[in-house]
Structure 1
Amino acid sequence: MGGQVSKQWERRNVVSTEKKTLCSLRESCGHEFPGCDYRPPDRKNWMAGLNPEKVHLNKIVWPGTHDSGTNKIGIPCITRPFAQCQSLSIYHQLERGTRLLDIRVEEDRHVCHGILITYSVDVVINDIKRFLSETQSEIIILEIRTEFGHEDPPDFDSYLEDQLGEFLIHQDDQVFEKTIAELLPKRIICVWKPRKSPQPKAGGPLWSAGYLKDNWVDTDLPSTKFESNLKHLSDQSPVMSRKFFYRVENTVTPQADNPVLCVKPVTGRIHGYARLFITQCFSRGCADRLQVFSTDFIDEDFVDACVGLTHARVEGKA
């Protein structure tokens, strides 16, 4: 018993030290970067506001949400705090400026996070359709994957094509070099990642797993995650030559050997350092690699940071 208490106390000291490390880095380096002072006048239509004829897809910094469909997961005050990564509905995430959604499903077409199950994926699809009906030039990356430990939903590729067919941008390497205006009226890049079923075919309406990559580091230590994100990002090719989307997740996640297991206080250790991360990308020479940037509990400032850098790229200032 004493050994376990000692270990947890040591872990809490490590967390505290890493929090101070990030705080000190921000105090010494600030968080200014090209476009940092830009604020989109309308987050719901921020791509339209940047001029779809000028915005190439490979210049966009996509604000994304991690475990996007968890706003109503679990039982409030009981299991929800251990699995909830977003407090907003899919529609309100999109309205706030999110442009990449991370949706996990299980065999009965319900959204899930681990063993906890929430609403039907139909809720996600309907929220996306509502948002698209209210906007004209916003492009969404929709990642749908079968959650670890679950089976693929039967005929799920056909379901996605039936539900979203009119909006789907077909899998094509040339898409990365095109402007938003050249893709319209198509609006969704749908990346379907089954666990066992066949991957989407080249040229089809769905994109295969290789088109959205990341290096997931499962830790609750904020400086460790921050530095790992920078290292993995620096190993990537620049966005202008890349033929896939690469995601960096500004998140840390609860660990079983730490006494704090609720998502919000744990991910809060890194949540406020998104602008610092972008600043460090410039300082360390890898800003031209940043493309998809995701977070838990997305807020306006996170969106503004991504849109600001996108604006700077479009204007040739970054």
Structure 2
Amino acid sequence: MGSLVSKQIQRRIDILREEKALFDLNESCGDEFPGCDYLPSDRKNWMAGLNPKRVPINKIVWPGTHDSATNEIGIPCVSRPFVQCQSWSIYDQLVRGTRVLDIRVQEDHRVCHGILLSYSVDLVIDDIRRFLSETEYEVIILEVRTEFGHKDPKDFDKYLVDQLGEYLVHQDEDVFQKTIAELLPRRVILVWKPRNSAHPEAGGPLWSEGYLRDDWVDTDLPLTKFESNMKYLSEQKLISLRNYFYRVEDTLTPQADSLVMCVRPVTDQIRGFGRLFISQCFLRGFANRFQIFSTDFVDEDFIDACIGLTYARIKGKASKC
């Protein structure tokens, strides 16, 4: 028992030390980058505001959310704090500017995170369709996967196509070089990641998992996650040369040997350093690899940072990016 307590105390010391290191880095280097002071006049229509004819898909910095549909998961004040990663609904996330969604499902079509359940995926689709009906030029990357340890919903690929078919951008590597305007009226890039079912085929309405990649680092240590994200990003091809999306997850994960097991206080130890990460991408020469940036408990400042860098790229203000 004494050994466990000692390890937990040491881990807390390590976390605070790493968090201080990020504060010090921010203090010494700052968190400014091209477009950092740009504020969209309308987050709901921020892609439209950048002129869809001049916005290539591969130059967008996509603000995303991790475990996007967990705002009502579990039991409030009982199990929810241990698995909830977002406080806004899917519709509210989209209206506020989020453009990449991470949806986990199980066999009965319910959204889940591990063993805990949320609402039916039908509500997610309804929110997406509502948002698309209210906008003209906003493009969404929708990732749907069967959660680890669960079975694929039966004929789920057909369900997704039936629900969103009119909006789906078909799997085609040429998409990365096109502008938003060239995709219209199709505005959803839907990546379906089943566990046992057949994977989407080239040319079809759904995209296979190889087109949305990331390197998940399972840790609650903020500097460790920050530097690991930077390392993996540095190993990617330039955005102009690759035919897949690459995601950086600005998140932390509660660990079994930690004193703190609730998601919010753990992930908050890195959430405030999103702008620092983008700034460091420029200082270290990796900004031309940066593409999708996802977080827990997304807020407008995080979204604005991604939109601002997109603006700088489109206006030619982000050299080598």
**How far is the alpha carbon of 1:259 from its aligned partner?**
1.2
Q: Number of residues paired by the alignment?
A: 318
Cross-structure match for 1:210: 210
Q: Name the CA distance, whole Å, in 2 between partners of 1:259 and 1:197.
A: 39
Q: Deviations over 1:49-98 (max 9, x none)?
A: 00000000000000000000000000000000000000000000000100
Q: Name the CA distance, whole Å, in 2 between partners of 1:12 and 1:53.
A: 50
Cross-structure match for 1:304: 304
Cross-structure match for 1:18: 18
Cross-structure match for 1:291: 291
1:201 partner letter:
E
Q: Deviations over 1:153-183 (max 9, x none)?
A: 0000000000000000000000000000010
Q: Deviations over 1:138-158 (max 9, x none)?
A: 000000000000000000000
Structure 1: runs of 5+ lacking an equivalent? none
Cross-structure match for 1:56: 56
- Matched position secondary structure for 2:88: coil
Q: Name the CA distance, whole Å, in 1 between partners of 2:63 and 2:6.
A: 40
Matched-pair identity in % = 70
Cross-structure match for 1:91: 91
Q: Name the CA distance, whole Å, in 2 between partners of 1:5 and 1:185.
A: 57
- Matched position secondary structure for 1:241: coil
Cross-structure match for 2:36: 36
Cross-structure match for 1:189: 189
Cross-structure match for 1:266: 266
Q: Deviations over 1:228-287 (max 9, x none)?
A: 000000000011111000000100110011010000000000000000000000011000
- Is contact 2:9-2:259 (8 Å) kept? no
Q: Deviations over 1:93-133 (max 9, x none)?
A: 00010000000000011000000011000000000000001
2:83 partner letter:
A
Q: Name the CA distance, whole Å, in 2 between partners of 1:176 and 1:5.
A: 50
Cross-structure match for 2:275: 275
Cross-structure match for 1:78: 78
**How far is the alpha carbon of 1:196 from its aligned partner?**
1.0
* Paired residues for 1:109-124 under 5 Å: 109-124=109-124
Cross-structure match for 2:104: 104
Cross-structure match for 1:145: 145
TM-score norm. by structure 2 comes to 0.99
**How far is the alpha carbon of 1:2 from its aligned partner?**
1.1
Structure 2: runs of 5+ lacking an equivalent? none
2:298 partner letter:
I
**How far is the alpha carbon of 1:4 from its aligned partner?**
1.0
2:143 partner letter:
E
4+ aligned runs moved over 3 Å, structure 1: none
